[in-house]
Amino acid sequence: MPLQTIAPRRLYRQIADQLRTLIEGGEYPVGTRLPPERDLAVQLGVSRPSVREALIALEVEGLVEVRMGSGIYVLDAQPAGTRRITAEAPLETIRARQLIESELAAHAARTMKRSQIGGLREAIAVMEGEAAAGQLPTRGDRLFHLRIAEASANSVLVRIVTDLYDERHNPLFQQLGSHFETTRSWVDAIAEHRAVVDAIASRSPQAARDAMTQHLVSSHNRFTVGWAGDTDAGVVKRLPARKQAKARG
């Protein structure tokens, strides 16, 4: 039997698999509400964003249902037969984008020509048109971020930004967006894009870096606001000690 490549498991996948095992083992019967996200994070010794990604994975897999304002409930599914999601983690992706694109914005402030800055404003206009038509303004959003990357004149960076942006089409990102992307959130995002353009146009690398950082931090925070069951003060069923994770996210 040939050796198989050993791939490290993503943290959210490790968390999801622990919860999946508890569901399969009857620790959380059908209809049971899972502990709030904050409690799971403490018990598992990981970050709340990592728990959120794990819960979203289980929702995509059909094992749980997120009921906003109520909690996260175990569904009547066949866990052994459901597929395991292994897509890139949405919140990790946004944090990676923050590190890369903040510096690209700073570089753009030094090098972008007036016509290129006009191209950024055109991309925002596309976003506004999409939003006005009731669509997710992702075409204009993608164009905006790629044009900033293109100002680097570095094909590797352009490819990296493209690949990271296009992760928003993976099933985890789409499911997360279905809970938290709203008309209001996109209005805020478009305003943040305008701030990035203004900073680039001012020829201040630091202002551009800060504006892009703030935009992507805000994007991350929009996906991590409190949700179903997090404010519940009732008795919470704890994870069995043998199942608690030691990894930290």
Q: What is the DSSP string of 191-231?
A: HHHHHHHHHHHTT-HHHHHHHHHHHHHHHHHHTSS--TTTT
Residue 68: pLDDT band (50, 70, 90) is confident
State the pLDDT at residue 235: 32
* Predicted confidence (pLDDT) per residue in 189-247, tens digit: 999 999 999 999 999 999 999 999 999 999 999 999 876 445 433 333 444 444 444 44
Distance, in Å, from the CA atom of 232 to the CA atom of 149, rounded to the nearest integer, reads: 43
Residue 79: pLDDT band (50, 70, 90) is low
Q: Where are the beta strands (DSSP E) in 49-162?
A: 64-67, 71-74
State the pLDDT at residue 58: 95
Distance, in Å, from the CA atom of 223 to the CA atom of 217, rounded to the nearest integer, reads: 10
Better-predicted residue by pLDDT, 240 or 98: 98
Task: Give 66's strand partners.
Answer: 72
Most confident stretch, 21-30, 70-79, 93-102: 93-102
Contact between residue 73 and residue 67 where contact means Cβ atoms under 8 Å apart: yes
Residue 9: pLDDT band (50, 70, 90) is confident
Distance, in Å, from the CA atom of 37 to the CA atom of 35, rounded to the nearest integer, reads: 6
Cα-based torsion angle of the residue sequence 62, 86, 50, 104 in order, rounded to the nearest 10 degrees: -130
Task: Give 73's strand partners.
Answer: 33, 65
Give the chain's count of helices (H) and strands (E). 10, 2
